Amino acid sequence: MILWEGGAVALPGLAAGAAVSLAFARWMQSVLYRLSPMDPVSLAAVGLLLCGITLFSVWLPARRASRVDAGVALRAE
């Protein structure tokens, strides 16, 4: 459930980032060396990398929280 919610946050961010990168493609063409700003391999690689980082950063706290006994956590409050 926690991973699903993390992915739900990451996907709109990736879509917005892709839209902004395509909007600034002409400006980025002057900055990038020997690489097209609309290179699908580069855009896909960055998207997959960001998705992996997001899911890993959500998975660590979810795994730690799943190991805590709910009764003990509620009694501590």
How many domains does one find in the chain? 1
How deeply is 9 buried, as exposed, middle or buried, from its count of CB atoms within 10 A (0-12, 13-18, 19+)? exposed
Answer yes or no: is 72 within a domain: no
Answer yes or no: is 73 within a domain: no
Best CA proximity match to 45, nearest among 18, 72, 26: 18
Answer yes or no: is 77 within a domain: no
- Condensed to tens digits (0 to 9), the pLDDT of residues 58-68 reads 888 888 888 88
Answer yes or no: is 25 within a domain: yes
Question: What are the structure tokens assigned to 22, written together?
Answer: 């395509």
Answer yes or no: is 61 within a domain: yes
- Condensed to tens digits (0 to 9), the pLDDT of residues 13-57 reads 888 988 888 888 778 777 777 767 677 888 888 889 988 898 899
| Residue 49, amino acid | L
Answer yes or no: is 75 within a domain: no
| Residue 27, domain extent | 2-67
pTM > 0.75: yes or no: no
Answer yes or no: is 22 within a domain: yes
